[in-house]
């Protein structure tokens, strides 16, 4: 069992005790993503044990495993794939807009989100996307980005912190909004959980499994929307608290011990995993993939929904249905 360390001069893993090495050919095995060095930094293990498996001559480098040094290839790959994505996004957006305009011209609409609510939603979406992208990149792609694009972990950290501050600021603004404005108080009243919501879950599953003939009737918010709202509300609080503990880990480490900060780091990561998957599995279904709203519920953009769809989804919200207008 030979113990390896990372050598910055040759950008490779080398045997820590060369006087004891054998002709195993392991001296210049490339350390994928600097994993040996990073594992020592992250988990406080200065050395990583690797079992020698090769019997190649000592002076032979395994060039096939070398990290590419080109600064052109990766930007070119990103540009090509980004161009494909941008092309399809532009085409999709125009087609969706045309379909949206045709639907709006043929019937009435209901105001679903006010301008203030749409701006709050935009800040939350933007900060969340940046947090997810930078957070997982720091954990898994930091060294690769630094070697390939010159955009390393420290830059990602500052962007991540900035997005976190923006998310918390948006959350504080929303708290003031629901406490101090009439529109906000009505929102929190309508989205507050009630006993009917728990019964609606059973009724809805019975209907969609063909065990009931009628689906439940909902007010302004169905149980699925309430679950999402309160999950976001609580998730923002826990992510903010754990993020602050990690940001100021020195004073909080003295206050809570290393165990407390380590627990906060673990909670922060797995909360991010659950939140990211919940957006894809839960939120994207209701606003994109649901056959009733495909290709998308555009309320986030202009605040409006077709009146027919709103009557179908929120029959008990009589005030909105009766006040629908073009």
Q: Rounded CA gap, 212 and 206, in Å?
A: 5
Nearest-10 Cα torsion for 303, 307, 312, 316:
80
Structure tokens at 148: 């390939």
Give the highest mean pLDDT range of 44-58, 133-147, 241-255. Answer: 241-255
**What is the distance in angstroms between the CA of the first residue and the CA of the last residue of the chain?**
75
CA 101 – CA 272 distance, rounded (Å): 36
Both tokens of 82, joined, read 């980004």
**CATH 1.20.950.20 intervals, the chain:** 73-79+86-322
Q: What's the DSSP call for residue 48?
A: E
Q: What is the mean predicted confidence (pLDDT) over 168-173?
A: 95
pLDDT beyond 50 at 185: yes
CATH classification code of 73-79+86-322 = 1.20.950.20
pLDDT value at 58 more than 50: no
- 104-113, 229-238, 244-253, 283-292: least confident range: 104-113
Structure tokens at 170: 């948006």
């Amino acid at each position: 069992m030979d113990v390896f360390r990372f050598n910055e001069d040759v950008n490779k893993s080398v045997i820590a005790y060369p006087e004891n090495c054998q002709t195993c050919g392991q001296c210049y095995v490339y350390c994928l993503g600097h994993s040996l060095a990073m594992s020592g930094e992250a988990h406080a293990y200065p050395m990583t044990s690797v079992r020698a498996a090769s019997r190649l001559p000592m002076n032979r480098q395994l060039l096939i495993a070398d990290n590419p040094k080109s600064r052109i290839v990766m930007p070119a790959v990103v540009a090509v794939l980004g161009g494909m994505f941008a092309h399809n996004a532009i085409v999709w957006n125009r087609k969706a807009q045309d379909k949206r305009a045709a639907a709006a011209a043929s019937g009435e609409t209901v105001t679903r989100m006010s301008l203030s609510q749409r701006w709050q939603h935009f800040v939350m979406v933007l900060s969340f996307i940046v947090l997810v992208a930078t957070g997982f990149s720091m954990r898994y792609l930091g060294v690769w980005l630094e070697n390939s694009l010159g955009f390393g972990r420290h830059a990602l950290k500052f962007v991540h912190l900035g997005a976190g501050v923006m998310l918390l600021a948006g959350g504080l603004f929303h708290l003031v909004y629901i406490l101090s404005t009439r529109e906000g108080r009505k929102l929190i009243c309508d989205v507050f959980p009630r006993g009917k919501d728990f019964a609606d879950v059973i009724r809805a599953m019975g209907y969609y499994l063909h065990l009931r003939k009628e689906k439940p009737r909902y007010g302004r918010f169905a149980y699925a929307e309430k679950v999402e709202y309160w999950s976001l509300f609580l998730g923002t609080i826990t992510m903010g608290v754990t993020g602050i503990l990690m940001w100021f880990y020195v004073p909080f480490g003295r206050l809570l011990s290393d165990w407390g900060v380590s627990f906060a780091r673990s909670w922060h990561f797995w909360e991010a995993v659950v939140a990211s998957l919940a957006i894809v599995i839960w939120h994207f279904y209701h606003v994109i993939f649901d056959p009733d709203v495909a290709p998308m519920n555009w309320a986030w953009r202009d605040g409006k929904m077709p009146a027919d769809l709103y009557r179908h989804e929120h029959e008990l919200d009589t005030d909105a249905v009766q006040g629908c207008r073009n």
